Chain A
Amino acid sequence: MSDTKITLEDVRKVARLSRLALDEAALAQMRGELSKILGHVASLNALDVSNVEPTYHAVPMNAPLRADVVQASLPRDEVFASAPKTEAGGFAVPKVMDGEG
């Protein structure tokens, strides 16, 4: 965390991981904003947390189990009503695999 300088290449990589198609101007602006926020976040370096357990859930609880039984699902027509594109009783999506077809 000591090095919070984020390069344009870092930003480009994170945008790709985030599936955000940002143009060069947006990437440059993002670099400036992220650098400033990460600069503030670096204040955590002042703390020694080597012997501290992380808190992933603030209120302790056990993962509950439920019976594995068939339950009613959502009405299909209502679900598909909000879909950008449907076909043959399913979501129509762009081609996922390369090649013919």
Chain B
Amino acid sequence: MDFSFTDEQVDLREMVIKFARNELDYDLAEYDKNGEFPLEAWRKCAEMQFLGLPFDEEYGGGGSDFLTMSLVLNALGYACKDAGLVHAIATQVLCGMQIRMFGSEEQKQKYLPDVCSGKKIFAQAITEPDSGSDALSMRSRATWNGDGYLLNGTKMFITNGPIADVVIVFAVTDPDKKTLGGISCCFVEKGFAGFQQCNPIKKMGLTTLQNGELVFDACPIPPGNLMGKEGQGGMIFNESMEWERSFLPAAHLGTMERVLETSIRYAKERKSFGQSIGKFQSVSNKLAEMKMRLELGKLICWKAATLKDQGKRATLESSIGKLFISECLKQTCLDAVQIHGGYGYTTEYEIERDLRDSVAATIYSGTSELQYNIISRWLGL
């Protein structure tokens, strides 16, 4: 299998890195402390077409393939220290992918240009207060009333939720059916009656990413706002998770590369007992492990992206990649703090923020425990 990138892809990655270093230079420590979304940086990324990269040009997109999109996320994870912003971008793209695959032509015309331009912020609402990994056991109900649906329920931890203009909401439309046929998907827009966006939830990491509770109280949904067919929600959910688990880890690999380079630099500069600390095996072994995780992570991540570009399924590969890379990211950040010693524990060196951010990667988009379950099922267990 050929994992080499084209010259255009390599150039694009370099361009994104340069852009991120020059243009996404806001005071992240301040945004991190305040839990503030970097809207100006979002707009700059939109102008660079990062939000619309994989979508057709007729909708304002860049017409790129999935691997290229993954590579851009990888470059952002590397050069932009704000993992919250990168995650918000990935969520926007993911919503666009759902619309592209399952939306009607009318819905594509209506929503995809806004996905690409970033003028509207999108979110997908699956998780509920009582259903996380077991997402399809959701309780939110969309009930047909003759003119449309009435949506009732509460969604929790929704990424981009507090600031979203459009939310793709998953809800039960037929409680008598099993999850695969009983759940549907609909568009809810800011300002709909009975739709309330609560304040962002304070978190240990990814603080600039806005996550929150969404409440639907007899929220009327026009029939034209159903995405796909009634009962297709379970299928859409599966597809969505596979896309997400295939490309979000690419950003984590970028972060791992940055953290590794930072740690190598420090290990060479920092002296102890008359020599660089990198000369001590207890430190150099950590760095070697970090490098191994990075290179092995690339193999599964690029494989999953390549499969998606070939129009193939990557259910197993995306689960393995999501599990492996998110756990590696967490361990890499933990090792980086340890290598940096007392400085690593300070906010000034910014490693501690990467560590705080990394923990979330093992939870969202299906916890590590859930990925183990999926992989085990794939083994026939």
Chain A partners chain B: no
Residues of A participating in the B interface, judged by any CB pair closer than 8 Å: none
Residues of B participating in the A interface, judged by any CB pair closer than 8 Å: none
